[in-house]
Chains A and B, each alone.
Chain A
Amino acid sequence: MRSITPEEVQEVARLAGLHVPPEKLAGFAKGITAIVAYMEEIKKLPVETVPETARLTEESNVWREDTVTESLSQKEVFQNGTHAEGYFVVPAVLKHK
């Protein structure tokens, strides 16, 4: 059984934009190891020649007319952000020299 280390958990959490407090990492790793170990039961499934199921819907290529329809107002768009007067502050992506 594969054991997931606290370092692995921290790395995966980073990829998912999550920060696990250092004191909780060991507990998290233990819990996630148990969950993944249980899920690895599926390795016993005889699925070598079985196709994947990606979706259940019968529908495909649902189109709409290329016409302009009503949209949210600017006020509505910004109302749940930190600067409702008309902009979002995003985390910096590029570093300033």
Chain B
Amino acid sequence: MLLDRTIAELQTLLSSKEISARELVEEAYVSIEKHNNALSAFITVREKKDALRDADAADNSPSRGPLSGIPFCLKDAYVTKDLRTTAGSAVLDTFIPPYSATVAERLLAGGAILIGKNNMDAWGHGSTSENTDYGAVRNPWNLGRVAGGSSGGSAAAVAARMAAFAIGEDTGGSIRAPASMCNVTGLKVTYGRLSRYGAIAYASSLDTVGPMAKSAEDLALVLAAVAGADPRDATSSRREVHAYHRLLEKPLAGTRIGVPKEFLAEELSGEVRRAVDEAIRTYTSLGATIISVSIPSLSFAVPIYYLIATSETSSNLNRYDGVRFGNGRERFTEETMRRIVVGTYALKAGYHDELYTRATKGRTLLIREFDALWSSCDMLLGPTMPDVPYKLGALTEDPVKMYLADIFTVPVNLTGLPSLALPAGFSDDNLPIGVQLIGKKFDEESLLAAGAAYQRATKWHKKEPAL
């Protein structure tokens, strides 16, 4: 399929007119027709004629950018003008936004073709894309398994060739978890690297906007096109955006990769451990030095995260009053109501200091512990998930069990660091396993270069699900 190729390869074919954007869009819609019923990757698919019209405009445009004519999809957490946006929740089932998110505007201005809005855990509340009012997203590698969350629909859509890339959102692992469970590559950026304007907020000090695609090379192209300061997001960084896609050849020799010993704890399943060990061997063969390091407070990361995230979400979700937009609050799912209640409780007079404030202090401890590692390491390597993709329903009965699945992802959001999730192998049952490379703030270029080097040496990311 054309959509098996990298974005750069597609752009070369488009520029020389060997293929047309129309053909790419047609291919995307064929994949959707064939597989979306089984996968539930999309909540809203644009009318094909509208996408084709955009494709023709891209084909006839005199100026082309790197993403011109490339089909993409957006997690349904990003508002799109005049196109329904639900955040995965019945509360916004009929919501038609009057404006578009910055990331959407930048991609459309670059000529990329929007295919539709992806299914997700409502409001970002989940790690499996089962907490959705639109049917759980199924894993393209095994329909009885979850696709990961909360950006599960985006991961499934990329894996199933329904688009060349997607924009997901990562607050506690919501890009990295589904990327690893669906065998795609996903980037959680440094907090502030990419504008959150128009991203429906879950937890404002943790939310990040990021790309998902089949390779680090693809992510670098997308990131370069959308990153950078936005006056409409006061937390967006004014730091320079680099041409990440031109910095992927940096050799790995001498790179110091830390492996936190707490990341190899007993919670890790044997199969995931084997994949991480294999990744360590690959990086060693590429010339990196592996160093054992420690994050002593790692076991507190999940409670710290959930206290802060639920408190922030209880505040952010106040705006859904069913008056100016949306349906009534009785339409929230049980899990969302639980998070709002827990967050409200943690902020209540009497409990505020011992719960919420304490968590924000614990966050400082974690930040210090990660900061201390950069004198001896250039980046860190570890698993994304403690286990292979879960069976549907395995985690939904026990919220604490679900939260514990985030043990390796949430510390990265608490500290604001970037992290790249890479396909790293398969279980005996052919279920995808991923690893993550965690970097210094605003050092996406080192992560993407290290990811590209890994993907030149391995073939995991090229494997396709048998749909």
Contacts and interface: CB of A to CB of B under 8 A. Distances in A.
A42 B337 contact: no
A35 B306 CA distance: 9
Contact of A80 (B234, B238, B326, B357): B326
Q: Interface of chain B, helix or strand or loop or mixed?
A: helix
B126 to A, nearest CB: 14
A53 B367 contact: yes
B431 to A, nearest CB: 27
A42 to B, nearest CB: 5
A8 to B, nearest CB: 8
Interface residues of B, number: 58
Nearest to B192: A57
A71 to B, nearest CB: 10
A15 B315 CA distance: 11
Interface residues of A, number: 49
B272 interface: no
A78 to B, nearest CB: 9
Contact of B358 (A36, A47, A51): A47
Given A12-B344, A42-B307, A62-B231, A31 B399 contact: yes
Interface in A55-97: 55-59, 62, 64, 72, 76-77, 79-81, 88-91
Contacts of A76: 98
Q: Which of the listed residues B191, B314, B329, B341 has the most CB atoms from chain A within 10 Å of its own CB?
A: B341
A17 B361 contact: no
Contact of B354 (A15, A43, A81, A91): A43
Interface in B327-351: 329-330, 332, 334, 337-338, 340-342, 344-346, 348
A52 interface: yes
Interface in B344-400: 344-346, 348, 354-355, 357-365, 367, 399-400
A54 interface: yes
A13 B361 contact: no
A26 interface: no
Contacts of B358: 42-43, 45, 47
Contacts of A9: 341
Interface of B: 94-96, 98-99, 191-192, 205, 231, 234-238, 297, 299-300, 303-304, 306-307, 314, 318, 321, 323-326, 329-330, 332, 334, 337-338, 340-342, 344-346, 348, 354-355, 357-365, 367, 399-400, 403, 415-416
**Leading 5 A-B pairs by shortest Cβ distance:** A80-B325, A47-B361, A56-B416, A76-B98, A52-B360
29 contacts: A13-B337, A13-B344, A16-B318, A19-B329, A20-B341, A31-B338, A35-B306, A35-B342, A36-B342, A39-B346, A39-B359, A41-B300, A42-B307, A42-B358, A43-B354, A44-B300, A52-B363, A56-B191, A56-B205, A59-B235, A59-B237, A64-B231, A80-B94, A80-B95, A81-B324, A81-B325, A88-B323, A90-B323, A91-B323
